[in-house]
Structure 1
C-alpha cells in the first residue's frame, strides 16, 4: 500500500514509458505486476495517448522479485551513467561557449 502522499512526491512515481527507459521493462511486465496485485497504478492520458503511472518503490521491488536484484542494480547503474554522460556533455558545451566569450573579450582588450 502506498504511503500518504507518495503519489505526489517528486520522482516517487513514473510512467510505463519512463520505466522502459530507466529499467528496460515493457508495458506488459507492468500490467502483469498490476494483475498480480504487486503494483498500484493510475491511468492517465497526454494529448490522447494513454499511459500507466506506477510507484517507483513498488516497481523496483517487483523487478527485484521477478528479474533479480542484479538486473535492478545494473539498470539503475545504466540510468545513472546516462545522466552523468549527459551532464558532462552539457558542461563541456558550456565550457566551449565560455572559452569563445573569453577569446572575444581578450581581443577587445588588446585593441
Structure 2
C-alpha cells in the first residue's frame, strides 16, 4: 500500500511544476528533499532527470514557508496564469480561423 499513492492521478508532480504551482524555488524543493521533508522518485524525460514529489507534502512545505495566505495567493496566481494561457491559445485559434474564412470567401467570391 505504501507505493499506491505514487500511482494515483494528481497525487504527484514534478519538482519543476511544484515550483510553478506553489511559488517555491527549486532550491527550496531540493533542500526539503535533502532534509527528508519530501519523499521523491527520480524520473527521466527525454534523457533529463527530474524529481517526482508528493503533492500533499509540497502543500505542507509551501504552507510552512509561505503561510496559508501565501498558498491561497499563489493558487490564484497559478490559476490566472492558466486562464491567460488558454485565452491566448483561443485568440490564436480564432485568428487562424478568421484568416481561413477570409481566404475562402475571397477565393470563391462569396459575399457574407
Deviations 1:33-67 (A, max 9, x none): 33554422112334554322111122112211332
Matched, 1:77 2:76: yes
> TM-score, normalization: structure 1?
0.77
Q: Alignment length, in residue pairs?
A: 110
On the 8 A contact 1:39/1:59 being kept in 2, the answer is: yes
Q: Which residues of structure 2 form unaligned runs of 5+?
A: none
Pairwise CA RMSD: 2.6
Q: For 2:26 and 2:93, how far apart are their aligned partners in 1?
A: 37
> TM-score, normalization: structure 2?
0.76
Q: For 1:90 and 1:27, how far apart are their aligned partners in 2?
A: 28
Paired residues for 1:1-111 under 5 Å:
5-107=4-106, 108-110=108-110
Q: For 2:48 and 2:96, how far apart are their aligned partners in 1?
A: 38
Q: Which residues of structure 1 form unaligned runs of 5+?
A: none
On the 8 A contact 1:16/1:26 being kept in 2, the answer is: no
